[in-house]
Amino acid sequence: METLEAIRARRSIRRFRSDPVPRDVINRVLEAACMAPSPKNTQPWRFLVLEGSKRLELVTVMRHGLRERLATRSSPHDLENTLRAMEEAPVVLLVFMEEAEPSSRNGLGEQDRVADIQSIGACIQNLLLAAVNLGLGTLWICDVLDAGDAMQRFLNRPDQLVAAVALGYAAESPPERPRRPLAQSVNWAG
């Protein structure tokens, strides 16, 4: 598939079939993710692949961490949709930003962290596009970041959780979501 075609075909998928995703397919998606550029090639991303019962445990912890938001939010179904997608998808990938050694790049300043987050964004987008190419659906999820201490305790890792990606075979084919006209996002100078 052409790159532009994959970019155009990608959608956030929130309904998944239960069919398992073979490990070699997951690895191909992760390899594409890791081809992303990064500052001085530091490759600050780390992944945890959750399948089966571990994935469901994560969703339970997340639901618990989000209970206040679920109760008070004006449209809690958004969060419920995210949680359901994580339950349905046979694979949930957690994406972390590595905790850099104090000696590397003289410790991480705010600018370094911003740069690392940019490259992790590129890494996740690579992952989503590779998934499209391999016939898989994905949902990029930041709601995991609101689940608080319970999630940190469950994960028990020194590195920082940045996002989750639900991965599996799509059980829906949503239409393209609208984008504002280019002229509203772009200025030209010179």
Ligand X SMILES: Cc1cc2nc3c(=O)[nH]c(=O)nc-3n(C[C@H](O)[C@H](O)[C@H](O)COP(=O)(O)O)c2cc1C
Site for ligand X in 70-109 (CB under 6 A): 81-82
Asked whether the beta carbons of 38 and 117 are under 8 A apart, the reply is no
Applying CB under 6 A, the site for ligand X has a residue count of 11
Name the minimum Å distance from CB 188 to ligand X: 25
Residue 96 CB partners (closer than 8 Å, separation 6+): 45, 46, 47, 48, 157, 159, 160, 161, 162
Identified binder of ligand X from the candidate list 30, 97, 126, 143, rule CB under 6 A: 143
Pattern 31-70, binding to ligand X, x per CB under 6 A?
Answer: ----------------------------------------
Nearer residue to ligand X within complex by CB, 1 or 142: 142
- Residue from 95, 123, 122 nearest 31 by CA: 123
- Residues forming contacts to ligand X in the complex (CB under 6 A) are 11-12, 14, 81-82, 139-143, 177
